[in-house]
C-alpha cells in the first residue's frame, strides 16, 4: 500500500485543539491527528511513540494497541460518544488477521516483530499502514477516550476547570448508562463529567501566550 507522500517532519508538541483529519489522509496520519493530536511527525517518532515497552521493536501487543485492539470491545463510536448499538466485540480472529497482515508487510526477516530498521525501509518506499476499517485506532477504553477527546476539543483552552456542559456530555452519559446499566437515565449533574485526573498531563499543559 503506497501513498504519494507521507509526512516526514519533526515531532510536534501535543496539541490542545482538535486537529481535523482529512478523509484522504493515509491511516497512520489520521491516527496521529485524531488519536494523538499530532499533525507533523516523522517515521522515527511514529515508531517510537508506539513502541510501548521501549524494546526498539513493535511486538504483537504494540501492533494490536496501535489499531486499538487490546480492548475486548469498542463501546459506542470509540470516542466516548455515539450510540450503544454501535458497540462491538473484537474477536481473536480479527486480532490475528491484523497482526499477520502487518507482519507480511513489515517483518522482512520473519522474527515475529517489526524493527525500527524494517519500519524505516517500509516508509522509505512510500508505503503506509493499511486501514482495516477499525476507525483511527483508539488506544483507551471509551471512558478514557471521552476524557481526552472531549477535553482537547472543548475545555483545554477556554474551560480548563470543565464547568461548562455540552451536548456531548449528555451523549456520553446516555452511552454510559446504556452500556453499563442497560438504561439511558443519567443522574442530574452540573458541568462536564470529565475527571481532570484522568486527562494525561501532556494534554493539560496550558498554552503560553
**Strand 57-58 to 73-74 pairing:** unpaired
SS3 of 185, please? coil
Q: What angle do CA 139, 57, 73 make, to 5 degrees?
A: 25
Say how far apart CA 175 and CA 137 lie, in whole Å.
20
DSSP state of 127: B
Distance between CA atoms of residues 62 and 65, nearest Å: 5
Name 109's Cβ contacts closer than 8 Å, sequence gap at least 6: 115, 118
> What is the sign, positive or negative, of the torsion defined by CA atoms of 131, 104, 11, 148?
positive
d(CA 132, CA 65): 14
At 1 the three-state DSSP class reads coil
Per-residue pLDDT of the chain (209 residues; tens, 9 = 90+): 444 333 333 333 334 445 677 878 999 999 999 888 899 999 999 999 999 999 999 999 999 999 999 988 776 666 666 666 666 678 999 999 999 999 999 999 999 999 999 999 999 999 999 999 988 888 877 677 777 766 666 666 776 677 777 777 777 677 677 767 776 555 545 555 445 455 555 444 444 44
CATH topology of domain 27-124: Recoverin; domain 1 (1.10.238)
Alpha carbons 186 and 175: distance in angstroms, whole number: 10
Full-prediction pTM beyond 0.85? no
Instruction: For residue 58, list its beta bridge partners.
Output: 114
Q: So where are the chain's domains?
A: 27-124, 142-204
Amino acid at each position: 500500500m503506497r501513498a504519494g507522500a507521507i509526512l516526514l517532519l519533526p515531532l510536534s508538541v501535543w496539541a490542545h485543539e482538535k486537529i481535523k483529519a482529512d478523509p484522504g489522509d493515509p491511516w497512520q496520519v489520521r491516527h496521529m491527528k485524531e488519536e494523538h493530536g499530532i499533525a507533523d511527525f516523522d517515521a522515527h517518532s511514529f515508531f517510537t511513540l508506539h513502541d510501548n515497552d521501549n524494546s526498539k521493536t513493535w511486538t504483537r501487543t504494540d501492533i494490536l494497541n496501535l489499531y486499538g485492539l487490546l480492548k475486548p470491545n469498542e463501546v459506542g463510536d470509540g470516542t466516548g460518544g455515539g450510540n450503544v448499538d454501535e458497540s462491538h466485540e473484537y474477536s481473536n480472529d480479527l486480532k490475528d488477521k491484523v497482526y499477520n497482515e502487518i507482519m507480511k508487510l513489515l517483518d522482512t526477516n520473519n522474527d515475529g516483530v517489526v524493527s525500527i530498521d524494517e519500519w524505516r525501509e517500509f516508509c522509505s518506499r512510500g508505503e503506509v499502514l493499511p486501514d482495516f476499517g477499525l476507525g483511527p485506532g483508539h488506544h483507551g477504553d471509551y471512558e478514557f477516550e471521552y476524557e481526552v477527546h472531549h477535553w482537547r476539543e472543548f475545555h483545554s483552552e477556554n474551560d480548563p476547570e470543565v464547568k461548562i456542559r455540552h451536548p456531548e456530555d449528555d451523549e456520553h452519559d446516555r452511552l454510559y448508562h446504556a452500556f453499563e446499566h442497560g438504561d439511558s437515565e443519567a443522574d442530574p449533574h452540573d458541568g462536564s463529567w470529565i475527571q481532570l485526573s484522568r486527562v494525561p498531563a501532556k494534554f493539560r499543559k496550558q498554552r503560553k501566550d
